[in-house]
Amino acid sequence: MHLSLRAKLFLTLLCVSLVTVVVTQGFVRWSFVRGLEAAAAERQAQRLDIIAERLVAIHRRDGGWEGLAADRRLWVHALFGARAEQGRGRRWAGFDLDDERVHMGPGSRGGPPWARWPLHEQAGDTPAESGVWPPHRAVERIQSGEPPRPLELRLMLLDADGRIIYGREDLLANAKRQPLRDGDEVIGTLALLPGPSITELTDLRFRQRQTLALWVIALGVSLLAALLAFPLSKRLTRPVAAFQRTMRRLAAGDYAARVRVQGRDELGRLGRDLNALAQALAQTEQARRQWVADISHELRTPLSLLRAEMEAMQDGVRPLDQTALRSLHADALRLGRLIDDLYELSMTDLGALSYRKAPVDLYELLAAELDAFRERFASAGLRLRLEPAATADDWTLDGDAQRLSQLFRNLLRNSLAYTDAGGELRVSLERRGRHLQIDFDDTAPGVPETALPHLFERLYRVEASRSRATGGAGLGLAIAHNIVAAHGGEIHATASPLGGLRLRIGLPMAADSPASSARPHGTTPSPNDEPNTPRGTGA
């Protein structure tokens, strides 16, 4: 069975509410019962004090316990009390000891609440011999584990020597004893058998009513929680449904789809992230279309020239000689280089080029590439200089020597193609903390400030009208950017102090290089010289 997010959220809110209600109800009931038991215990203590006062008064009046032991009715009077009536019989502490109505029936009136228990049901109606207490039926209830609730049916009386006046020997072991004192003299002991803490019918009925009320309240709160959880779950899942619709539109190719963002919570951040994803997809799709259009244009131009020349030769407009063949061969070579560059760029984008990294002496590798290009630079009327000219420092890094050579050749060809005759290219190498920094600075012409951020874009040329015969395909710097990124470095383009373009490369040194943590020559780099500080972002 698959539940929707809304159903899961509704059930979660409902379960949390029900658990909260049940736990709260349990704690409230526990606190209520504890409070009721504490109040009952306090009243029980007061009743014991009253019974003790009556017994002390009887002992003081009779000078001992003989009269009480011989008169069972007097013992019952002392336990349960009697209506005070003026002018009748013997009196003590305001109670008529000759009153035969000892409130042993359920319909009794006029006495304290504990005197209105149906004692004929709990104590039994059969007479008992003198000195035996509790009655037989009360003993049966005690032995069965259901002691009678009235306190008076669980009391026994001992004299000062511990002899039973009213009680049972077999029950004394579990009784709690309270001494009776007449002044400073101990005249006897009251023994109370264990029993329920709440003994009055009023308290029991009150507890029953309150328990029922608590369950009714819990049920009502649970229903209210369910009624509130349903619309709340709908409201909380509404943004998720909107996200789902937007994702479907994006999957269908509608990259203009956006979600309405509300709030700063997790759902709001998710909505903003989804909108950012949609914008990135739209930009990627636009870049893809532009990329396809640019490739088509770049391939169409040399193919059109080749076809035009071959058709001219077929029509006899242009003679088929060595000059024409050389021209066709040159066009075919340029087309081949463009295709090779496109393939190489695609491989670097996908990370498909294999990088076999090993410790490489960057200075030695860079010097070798510059030596290979010196003759070509000299033929173009350009000077080529490496700084420092010679060094014994450690320039080791972990890299692929073949890919780094490709990187330097691309940069050297870029300067060779676009630097005016009579100028120069100065390549400088230095250490900046744990990075090696290489600067390629050439002379005029420079690059407009607005074009600097786009130099590393594929097929981008500063002059859109420049011919492929004089310039490159616009892929060299894009390939260079990918190679640098694969080595964990960065490359940036800025204006050169020589009047042309500066290409700055920062590459991390080998971790075990002894100079990787040193800063030679006492140099302290400024923030503008750090290799990871952008100086014009390349795409």
Contact by Cβ (8 Å): 222, 21: yes
Q: What is the pLDDT of residue 139?
A: 79
- Two tokens at 218? 């819990």
477 CB-side CA count, 13 A: 29
Cα separation of 339 and 298, whole Å?
10
Q: Which residues contact 331 (CB under 8 A, 6 or more apart)?
A: 302, 305, 306, 309
Q: What is the pLDDT of residue 428?
A: 94
Q: What is the pLDDT of residue 235?
A: 79
The per-residue pLDDT string of the chain (539 residues; one tens digit each, 9 = 90 and over) reads 577 777 888 888 888 888 888 888 888 888 888 888 888 888 888 888 999 999 999 999 988 998 888 888 888 888 887 432 333 344 433 334 333 333 333 333 444 443 444 444 444 444 445 577 888 777 777 777 777 777 788 889 999 988 999 988 888 888 889 899 998 899 999 998 888 777 677 777 888 888 888 888 888 888 888 888 888 888 777 888 888 889 899 999 898 899 888 878 888 888 889 999 999 888 888 877 877 777 776 777 778 878 888 888 888 888 888 888 888 888 888 788 778 777 777 766 655 566 788 999 999 999 999 999 999 999 999 999 999 876 767 888 999 998 899 899 989 988 998 899 999 999 999 988 888 999 999 999 989 988 888 888 877 766 543 334 444 556 778 888 988 998 999 999 999 999 999 999 999 987 655 544 443 333 333 333 433 333 333 33
Please report the domains of the chain, with CATH numbers, ordered by start residue: 5-202 (no CATH), 255-353 (1.10.287.130), 354-529 (3.30.565.10)
- Number of alpha helices (DSSP H) and beta strands (DSSP E) in the chain: 11, 13
Cα separation of 86 and 94, whole Å?
9
* pTM for this predicted structure: 0.44
Hey, what's the torsion of the CAs at 136, 142, 144, 150, to 10 degrees? 100
Report which of 80, 87, 88, 72 is spatially closest to residue 54, judged by C-alpha positions.
80
Rg of the chain over Cα atoms, rounded to whole angstroms, equals 53
